[in-house]
Amino acid sequence: MSLLETTESQEAAFNRLQEGRIRLEAELGKAIIGQKDVVEQILLALISGGHCIITGAPGLAKTLLVKSVAKVFHLDFQRIQFTPDLMPADITGTEILTDTPEGRQLTFAKGPIFTNLLLADEINRTPPKTQSALLEAMQEHQVTAAGVRHTLSEPFFVLATQNPVEMEGTYPLPEAQLDRFLFNTLIDYLPEDDEVEVVTQTTAKAHDPIESIFTAEDVLEFQSLVRKVPVSEEVVRYAVKLSASSRPSDPNAPDFVKEWISWGAGTRAAQALVLAGKARALWHSRAHVTKDDIVQLAPPVLRHRVLLNYRAEAQGETVETVIQKLLDNA
């Protein structure tokens, strides 16, 4: 029997999400101060079944945030520090020679990717060969080692970080891999009052332990429930038109797109907008997706799918300002 096959089970999952949401925010608040938009986007990616990449300066509690999310959902957690000498087998696992009653045999030793929530730290510091091993796992939810496929546990959620400051010795992620991430979430420095609270708390005592609110089974049910949220053709068409308007080759694209953008968002962007829109509607206790959901989610969905050219950079335009212009023009 598939997840949430009956109306009663769907309603029970919806109520469980709404009741747990307030408690979840309170639990995360024990460790994380501020960053409400960042936290919401990570949670939306998780219940959408997508992956998330976080771009931000070092020392902004990215690792603490991911660990806290893993605890509150009672998920297995692993962290991989990506380095230039990291090999694919360091992620996926490798075959080792072991002694068995039948004699010496090759057995597969699972790598850190066999978890529920994987933090891929500084993902752009490892070579393309290693990045591609992660790509297969993200897309197929499986890894291949020595010609044998190994299925990953569910749910499987990759949260990658990249550091915009340290550009030397980095390997920029190819567009195909960036496109696999549902969101590119920007994490920035806190406002002064929040930063004062962080410094006060972290220099006084350890925060109270975070309690689990949900389970891995709950996450799978929420992911199933998200896909059942209805969306009107009007909203889907808006998402499709917004994505298409970012492509310089589109005949209906605005002039600034043809002047500033070298590569626009593909169909996966529209899919991401609608799916994340469903998650956002559900998260805010609504039974349908609105245009405002698409507008609010456009920056994290589009910022890693729109590539600016040198003209835009010379004129001081950024991905953020171009996305805002796309929204104003939609």
Pair 186, 220 in one domain: yes
CATH assignment of the domain containing 59: 3.40.50.300
- pLDDT at residue 246, as a whole number: 94
261-295 pLDDT, tens digit per residue, is 998 999 999 999 999 999 999 999 998 999 999 99
Pair 24, 173 in one domain: yes
Pair 20, 164 in one domain: yes
Evaluate if residue 1 carries a pLDDT over 70: no
Contact 56, 15 (CB under 8 A): no
Q: Which of 47-56, 67-76, 123-132 has the lowest mean pLDDT?
A: 123-132
Evaluate if residue 59 carries a pLDDT over 90: no
Query: What is each CA distance from 169 to 35, 83, 96, 124, 279, in whole angstroms?
Result: 29, 9, 31, 9, 37
Task: Please give the helix or strand (H or E) that residue 31 lies within, else none.
Answer: none
Query: What DSSP line would sit under 160-182, residue for residue?
Result: EEE-SS--TT--PPPHHHHTT-S
Final residue of a domain: which of 201, 228, 255?
228
Number of domains present in the structure of the chain: 2
- pLDDT at residue 202, as a whole number: 78
The whole domain housing 220 covers: 1-228
- pLDDT at residue 234, as a whole number: 96
Instruction: Provide mean pLDDT across the span 24-52.
Output: 88
Evaluate if residue 48 carries a pLDDT over 60: yes
Pair 127, 246 in one domain: no
Confidence of residue 322 (pLDDT cuts 50, 70, 90): very high
Pair 14, 77 in one domain: yes
How far is residue 264's CA from residue 305's CA, in Å, rounded to a whole number?
6
Final residue of a domain: which of 228, 254, 279?
228
CATH assignment of the domain containing 270: 1.10.8.80
Confidence of residue 5 (pLDDT cuts 50, 70, 90): low
Pair 198, 81 in one domain: yes
Evaluate if residue 144 carries a pLDDT over 90: no
Confidence of residue 2 (pLDDT cuts 50, 70, 90): very low
Pair 178, 188 in one domain: yes
